[in-house]
Amino acid sequence: MKLKAGKLPPELLDRLLKDVPANDPRVALGPKVGEDAALIDFGDRYLAAKTDPITFASGLIGWYLVQVNCNDLAVMGATPKWLMATLLLPEGTEDKQVEEIFQQLTTAAAEHNITLVGGHTEVTVGLPRPIAVGVLLGEVDKDDVVLTSGIEPGDAIVLTGGIAIEGTALLAREAEAQLLDSGLDAASIETAKQMLFTPGISVRRAAEVARRAVNVHGMHDPTEGGLASGLAEMAAAGDVGLTINRAAIEVLPECRAVCDALGLDPMGLIASGALLAAVASDDDATLLAALEAQGVAARVIGTATEPGEGLKMRVGGELVPLPTFERDELARYFGD
Protein backbone atom coordinates (compact mmCIF):
# COMPACT_ATOMS: atom_id res chain seq x y z
CA MET A 1 0.00 0.00 0.00
CA LYS A 2 1.36 3.40 -0.97
CA LEU A 3 1.05 5.85 1.89
CA LYS A 4 -0.33 9.37 1.50
CA ALA A 5 0.76 12.53 3.30
CA GLY A 6 -0.16 12.63 6.97
CA LYS A 7 0.03 10.28 9.95
CA LEU A 8 0.58 6.59 9.43
CA PRO A 9 -2.68 4.61 9.44
CA PRO A 10 -3.36 3.71 13.11
CA GLU A 11 -3.50 -0.02 12.34
CA LEU A 12 -0.04 0.09 10.77
CA LEU A 13 1.40 2.21 13.57
CA ASP A 14 -0.05 -0.07 16.24
CA ARG A 15 1.44 -3.12 14.53
CA LEU A 16 4.87 -1.47 14.31
CA LEU A 17 4.86 -0.30 17.92
CA LYS A 18 3.97 -3.76 19.21
CA ASP A 19 7.31 -4.98 17.85
CA VAL A 20 9.34 -2.32 19.69
CA PRO A 21 11.30 -4.09 22.47
CA ALA A 22 10.69 -2.94 26.04
CA ASN A 23 14.00 -4.00 27.60
CA ASP A 24 14.72 -1.01 29.85
CA PRO A 25 12.85 -1.21 33.17
CA ARG A 26 13.12 2.56 33.64
CA VAL A 27 10.81 3.17 30.69
CA ALA A 28 7.49 3.53 32.50
CA LEU A 29 5.57 4.38 29.32
CA GLY A 30 6.93 3.72 25.87
CA PRO A 31 5.40 4.30 22.44
CA LYS A 32 1.67 3.62 22.31
CA VAL A 33 -1.15 4.78 20.08
CA GLY A 34 -3.10 7.50 21.86
CA GLU A 35 -0.50 8.44 24.48
CA ASP A 36 1.05 11.86 23.96
CA ALA A 37 4.53 11.37 25.42
CA ALA A 38 6.93 8.84 26.92
CA LEU A 39 7.73 8.53 30.64
CA ILE A 40 11.13 7.54 32.04
CA ASP A 41 11.63 6.77 35.74
CA PHE A 42 13.92 9.29 37.47
CA GLY A 43 13.40 8.19 41.05
CA ASP A 44 10.88 10.49 42.72
CA ARG A 45 9.51 11.70 39.38
CA TYR A 46 9.25 10.92 35.69
CA LEU A 47 11.08 12.51 32.82
CA ALA A 48 8.44 13.14 30.12
CA ALA A 49 9.68 13.14 26.53
CA LYS A 50 7.92 14.20 23.35
CA THR A 51 8.89 14.78 19.73
CA ASP A 52 6.74 16.44 17.08
CA PRO A 53 7.45 18.05 13.69
CA ILE A 54 6.06 21.07 11.89
CA THR A 55 5.61 20.14 8.24
CA PHE A 56 2.68 22.11 6.79
CA ALA A 57 3.31 25.65 8.05
CA SER A 58 5.78 27.78 6.12
CA GLY A 59 5.64 30.73 8.52
CA LEU A 60 6.02 30.87 12.32
CA ILE A 61 7.38 27.33 12.41
CA GLY A 62 9.65 28.08 15.36
CA TRP A 63 6.68 29.34 17.38
CA TYR A 64 4.54 26.39 16.26
CA LEU A 65 7.19 23.91 17.30
CA VAL A 66 7.15 25.02 20.92
CA GLN A 67 3.34 25.10 21.20
CA VAL A 68 2.55 21.65 19.80
CA ASN A 69 5.24 19.87 21.79
CA CYS A 70 4.28 21.74 24.95
CA ASN A 71 0.65 20.67 24.52
CA ASP A 72 1.57 17.00 24.50
CA LEU A 73 3.45 17.26 27.80
CA ALA A 74 0.73 19.38 29.40
CA VAL A 75 -1.98 16.77 28.82
CA MET A 76 0.13 14.25 30.75
CA GLY A 77 0.48 16.59 33.71
CA ALA A 78 4.13 17.35 32.98
CA THR A 79 5.93 20.69 33.17
CA PRO A 80 7.97 21.33 29.99
CA LYS A 81 11.62 22.19 30.68
CA TRP A 82 14.13 21.52 27.91
CA LEU A 83 13.83 21.74 24.11
CA MET A 84 16.01 20.44 21.29
CA ALA A 85 15.16 21.53 17.76
CA THR A 86 16.16 20.24 14.34
CA LEU A 87 15.65 22.68 11.47
CA LEU A 88 15.84 21.52 7.84
CA LEU A 89 15.89 24.38 5.35
CA PRO A 90 15.42 24.45 1.56
CA GLU A 91 18.27 25.51 -0.67
CA GLY A 92 18.17 29.26 -1.22
CA THR A 93 16.98 30.08 2.30
CA GLU A 94 18.22 33.52 3.31
CA ASP A 95 20.01 34.37 6.53
CA LYS A 96 17.12 36.59 7.61
CA GLN A 97 14.66 33.68 7.45
CA VAL A 98 16.86 31.57 9.73
CA GLU A 99 17.21 34.43 12.17
CA GLU A 100 13.42 34.85 12.26
CA ILE A 101 12.87 31.15 13.04
CA PHE A 102 15.45 31.23 15.84
CA GLN A 103 13.78 34.34 17.25
CA GLN A 104 10.41 32.57 17.16
CA LEU A 105 11.89 29.54 18.95
CA THR A 106 13.57 31.49 21.72
CA THR A 107 10.63 33.84 22.27
CA ALA A 108 8.05 31.05 22.45
CA ALA A 109 10.31 28.95 24.68
CA ALA A 110 10.77 31.86 27.08
CA GLU A 111 6.99 32.33 27.34
CA HIS A 112 6.71 28.74 28.63
CA ASN A 113 9.91 28.94 30.75
CA ILE A 114 11.53 26.34 28.47
CA THR A 115 15.30 26.29 27.84
CA LEU A 116 16.61 25.57 24.34
CA VAL A 117 19.46 23.13 25.02
CA GLY A 118 20.53 22.00 21.56
CA GLY A 119 19.57 20.69 18.16
CA HIS A 120 20.71 20.69 14.57
CA THR A 121 20.30 23.03 11.60
CA GLU A 122 21.10 22.37 7.94
CA VAL A 123 20.18 23.28 4.38
CA THR A 124 18.72 20.14 2.81
CA VAL A 125 18.43 19.21 -0.86
CA GLY A 126 14.93 18.74 -2.29
CA LEU A 127 12.78 20.45 0.33
CA PRO A 128 9.93 22.68 -0.86
CA ARG A 129 9.66 24.47 2.51
CA PRO A 130 11.31 24.48 5.96
CA ILE A 131 10.67 21.54 8.28
CA ALA A 132 11.20 21.78 12.03
CA VAL A 133 11.32 18.87 14.49
CA GLY A 134 11.29 19.34 18.23
CA VAL A 135 12.18 17.11 21.17
CA LEU A 136 10.74 18.46 24.40
CA LEU A 137 11.61 17.11 27.84
CA GLY A 138 9.78 17.84 31.05
CA GLU A 139 9.15 16.60 34.58
CA VAL A 140 6.12 15.26 36.39
CA ASP A 141 5.62 13.94 39.91
CA LYS A 142 4.57 10.32 39.78
CA ASP A 143 1.28 11.06 41.56
CA ASP A 144 0.38 13.74 39.00
CA VAL A 145 0.68 11.72 35.79
CA VAL A 146 -2.41 11.70 33.56
CA LEU A 147 -2.53 8.98 30.92
CA THR A 148 -4.88 8.94 27.97
CA SER A 149 -5.45 5.27 28.79
CA GLY A 150 -6.95 6.24 32.14
CA ILE A 151 -10.35 6.84 30.53
CA GLU A 152 -13.06 4.52 31.95
CA PRO A 153 -16.55 3.43 30.86
CA GLY A 154 -19.06 5.90 32.22
CA ASP A 155 -16.69 8.87 32.04
CA ALA A 156 -17.92 12.17 30.67
CA ILE A 157 -15.94 13.42 27.68
CA VAL A 158 -15.25 17.16 27.93
CA LEU A 159 -14.02 19.29 25.01
CA THR A 160 -12.53 22.72 25.64
CA GLY A 161 -12.85 25.47 23.06
CA GLY A 162 -14.06 24.46 19.65
CA ILE A 163 -12.75 23.03 16.40
CA ALA A 164 -10.60 23.35 14.47
CA ILE A 165 -8.36 26.22 15.54
CA GLU A 166 -5.00 25.17 14.11
CA GLY A 167 -6.32 23.80 10.84
CA THR A 168 -8.41 26.90 10.20
CA ALA A 169 -5.49 29.24 10.86
CA LEU A 170 -3.12 27.18 8.71
CA LEU A 171 -5.51 27.12 5.78
CA ALA A 172 -6.09 30.87 6.06
CA ARG A 173 -2.33 31.42 5.93
CA GLU A 174 -1.36 28.80 3.36
CA ALA A 175 -4.41 28.80 1.06
CA GLU A 176 -5.41 32.47 1.16
CA ALA A 177 -5.60 32.81 -2.63
CA GLN A 178 -7.90 29.81 -2.95
CA LEU A 179 -10.13 31.11 -0.16
CA LEU A 180 -10.42 34.50 -1.86
CA ASP A 181 -11.23 32.80 -5.16
CA SER A 182 -13.97 30.81 -3.39
CA GLY A 183 -15.65 34.04 -2.31
CA LEU A 184 -14.52 34.24 1.33
CA ASP A 185 -13.88 37.88 2.21
CA ALA A 186 -10.45 39.18 3.24
CA ALA A 187 -11.61 40.24 6.72
CA SER A 188 -12.82 36.72 7.54
CA ILE A 189 -9.55 35.25 6.30
CA GLU A 190 -7.57 37.64 8.47
CA THR A 191 -9.66 36.71 11.52
CA ALA A 192 -9.00 33.04 10.78
CA LYS A 193 -5.25 33.69 10.56
CA GLN A 194 -5.26 35.29 14.00
CA MET A 195 -6.88 32.22 15.57
CA LEU A 196 -3.34 30.96 16.12
CA PHE A 197 -3.13 33.51 18.92
CA THR A 198 -6.79 34.17 19.78
CA PRO A 199 -8.11 31.80 21.02
CA GLY A 200 -4.70 30.21 20.36
CA ILE A 201 -3.45 26.64 19.94
CA SER A 202 -1.97 26.13 23.41
CA VAL A 203 -3.95 23.88 25.77
CA ARG A 204 -1.45 24.08 28.63
CA ARG A 205 -3.56 26.40 30.79
CA ALA A 206 -6.74 24.39 30.24
CA ALA A 207 -4.93 21.16 31.14
CA GLU A 208 -3.51 22.68 34.32
CA VAL A 209 -6.93 24.04 35.37
CA ALA A 210 -8.50 20.62 34.77
CA ARG A 211 -5.90 18.81 36.87
CA ARG A 212 -6.36 21.21 39.78
CA ALA A 213 -10.14 21.06 39.65
CA VAL A 214 -10.91 17.32 39.59
CA ASN A 215 -9.39 13.87 39.32
CA VAL A 216 -8.90 13.74 35.55
CA HIS A 217 -8.91 10.15 34.29
CA GLY A 218 -7.41 10.94 30.89
CA MET A 219 -6.53 13.86 28.61
CA HIS A 220 -5.62 14.03 24.96
CA ASP A 221 -4.53 16.69 22.49
CA PRO A 222 -6.48 16.19 19.22
CA THR A 223 -4.05 17.23 16.51
CA GLU A 224 -3.52 15.68 13.09
CA GLY A 225 -6.62 13.80 12.01
CA GLY A 226 -8.84 16.23 13.87
CA LEU A 227 -11.28 15.72 16.69
CA ALA A 228 -12.62 12.47 15.25
CA SER A 229 -9.15 10.91 15.18
CA GLY A 230 -8.34 12.29 18.63
CA LEU A 231 -11.44 10.64 20.05
CA ALA A 232 -10.59 7.35 18.34
CA GLU A 233 -7.04 7.48 19.71
CA MET A 234 -8.32 8.16 23.20
CA ALA A 235 -10.73 5.22 22.99
CA ALA A 236 -8.01 2.93 21.66
CA ALA A 237 -5.61 3.90 24.45
CA GLY A 238 -8.18 3.14 27.15
CA ASP A 239 -9.94 0.24 25.41
CA VAL A 240 -13.37 1.86 25.69
CA GLY A 241 -16.23 2.71 23.39
CA LEU A 242 -17.57 6.23 22.89
CA THR A 243 -20.93 7.80 22.23
CA ILE A 244 -20.47 11.39 21.06
CA ASN A 245 -23.19 14.02 20.65
CA ARG A 246 -22.48 15.87 17.39
CA ALA A 247 -24.67 18.81 18.42
CA ALA A 248 -22.49 19.45 21.49
CA ILE A 249 -19.32 19.93 19.43
CA GLU A 250 -18.72 23.61 18.73
CA VAL A 251 -17.47 24.18 15.21
CA LEU A 252 -16.06 27.69 15.33
CA PRO A 253 -17.61 30.00 12.72
CA GLU A 254 -14.26 30.74 11.08
CA CYS A 255 -13.63 27.01 10.77
CA ARG A 256 -17.05 26.45 9.25
CA ALA A 257 -16.51 29.22 6.70
CA VAL A 258 -13.04 27.99 5.67
CA CYS A 259 -14.11 24.34 5.49
CA ASP A 260 -17.23 25.15 3.48
CA ALA A 261 -15.16 27.22 1.04
CA LEU A 262 -12.63 24.42 0.48
CA GLY A 263 -14.94 21.41 0.78
CA LEU A 264 -13.43 20.04 4.01
CA ASP A 265 -14.91 18.39 7.11
CA PRO A 266 -14.12 20.16 10.42
CA MET A 267 -14.22 16.84 12.29
CA GLY A 268 -11.10 15.68 10.44
CA LEU A 269 -9.13 18.94 10.48
CA ILE A 270 -6.05 19.31 12.70
CA ALA A 271 -7.46 20.60 15.98
CA SER A 272 -4.67 21.88 18.24
CA GLY A 273 -6.17 24.39 20.63
CA ALA A 274 -8.86 21.99 21.80
CA LEU A 275 -8.43 19.67 24.78
CA LEU A 276 -10.19 16.37 25.41
CA ALA A 277 -10.61 15.34 29.05
CA ALA A 278 -12.27 12.26 30.52
CA VAL A 279 -13.66 12.65 34.04
CA ALA A 280 -16.12 10.80 36.25
CA SER A 281 -19.67 11.83 35.41
CA ASP A 282 -20.03 13.23 38.94
CA ASP A 283 -17.14 15.62 38.28
CA ASP A 284 -18.10 17.11 34.93
CA ALA A 285 -20.03 20.08 36.37
CA THR A 286 -17.13 20.94 38.69
CA LEU A 287 -14.69 20.81 35.79
CA LEU A 288 -16.84 22.96 33.51
CA ALA A 289 -17.25 25.55 36.26
CA ALA A 290 -13.50 25.65 36.96
CA LEU A 291 -12.70 26.09 33.27
CA GLU A 292 -15.35 28.77 32.84
CA ALA A 293 -13.94 30.67 35.83
CA GLN A 294 -10.62 30.85 33.97
CA GLY A 295 -12.22 31.98 30.73
CA VAL A 296 -11.99 28.56 29.04
CA ALA A 297 -15.14 27.50 27.22
CA ALA A 298 -15.96 23.80 27.53
CA ARG A 299 -18.78 21.32 27.00
CA VAL A 300 -19.56 17.70 27.69
CA ILE A 301 -19.67 16.13 24.23
CA GLY A 302 -20.24 12.47 25.08
CA THR A 303 -19.68 9.45 27.26
CA ALA A 304 -17.19 6.61 27.40
CA THR A 305 -18.89 3.22 27.07
CA GLU A 306 -17.94 -0.43 27.25
CA PRO A 307 -15.50 -1.40 24.49
CA GLY A 308 -18.00 -3.70 22.75
CA GLU A 309 -20.28 -0.74 22.07
CA GLY A 310 -17.81 0.77 19.60
CA LEU A 311 -17.37 4.38 18.51
CA LYS A 312 -20.64 6.11 17.76
CA MET A 313 -21.96 9.60 17.21
CA ARG A 314 -25.47 10.86 17.74
CA VAL A 315 -26.58 13.04 14.84
CA GLY A 316 -30.09 14.33 15.39
CA GLY A 317 -32.06 11.33 16.57
CA GLU A 318 -29.82 8.81 14.83
CA LEU A 319 -26.81 6.93 16.16
CA VAL A 320 -24.15 6.53 13.46
CA PRO A 321 -20.50 5.40 13.45
CA LEU A 322 -18.00 8.05 14.54
CA PRO A 323 -16.49 9.41 11.30
CA THR A 324 -13.02 8.22 10.36
CA PHE A 325 -10.44 9.98 8.25
CA GLU A 326 -7.72 8.25 6.27
CA ARG A 327 -5.63 11.39 6.72
CA ASP A 328 -6.05 14.88 8.05
CA GLU A 329 -8.25 17.13 5.94
CA LEU A 330 -5.33 19.58 5.73
CA ALA A 331 -3.10 16.89 4.22
CA ARG A 332 -5.88 15.81 1.89
CA TYR A 333 -6.38 19.36 0.67
CA PHE A 334 -2.71 20.07 -0.01
CA GLY A 335 -2.05 16.55 -1.26
CA ASP A 336 -4.91 16.30 -3.77
45-88 per-position pLDDT tens digit:
999 999 999 887 667 899 989 999 999 999 999 999 999 999 99
pLDDT of residue 224: 87
Q: Cβ neighbours of residue 289 under 8 Å, at least 6 residues apart?
A: 213
Q: What is the pLDDT of residues 156-179, one digit of tens each?
A: 999 999 999 999 999 999 899 999
Question: What's the pLDDT tens digit per position in 99-129?
Answer: 999 999 999 999 999 999 999 999 999 998 8
User: What's the pTM value of the predicted model, to 2 decimals?
Assistant: 0.91
CATH class of the 10-144 domain in this structure: alpha beta
Same fold for the pair 10-144 and 148-335:
no
Please state, in angstroms and rounded to a whole number, the distance separating the CA atoms of residues 7 and 96.
31
CATH number of the domain located at residue range(s) 148-335 in this protein: 3.90.650.10
Q: Are 72 and 224 in contact (CB under 8 A)?
A: no
The beta strand positions in 5-145, using DSSP E, are 27-29, 38-41, 45-54, 79-90, 115-124, 131-141
Q: Supply φ then ψ for residue 267, to 5 degrees.
A: -65, -20
Short-list 300, 291, 328, 283, CA closest to 243: 300
What is the total residue count of the chain? 336
**How would residue 336 be classed by pLDDT, with cut points 50, 70 and 90?**
low
How do the domains of the chain map onto residue ranges? 10-144, 148-335
pLDDT at residue 6 tops 80: no
- Phi, psi (deg, nearest 5) at residue 301: -110, 0
Residue 218 belongs to what H/E stretch?
strand 216-220
- DSSP for 99-123? HHHHHHHHHHHHHTT-EEEEEEEEE
Report pLDDT digits (tens) over 142-157. Answer: 999 999 999 999 999 9
Which pLDDT score is estimated for 12?
Answer: 83
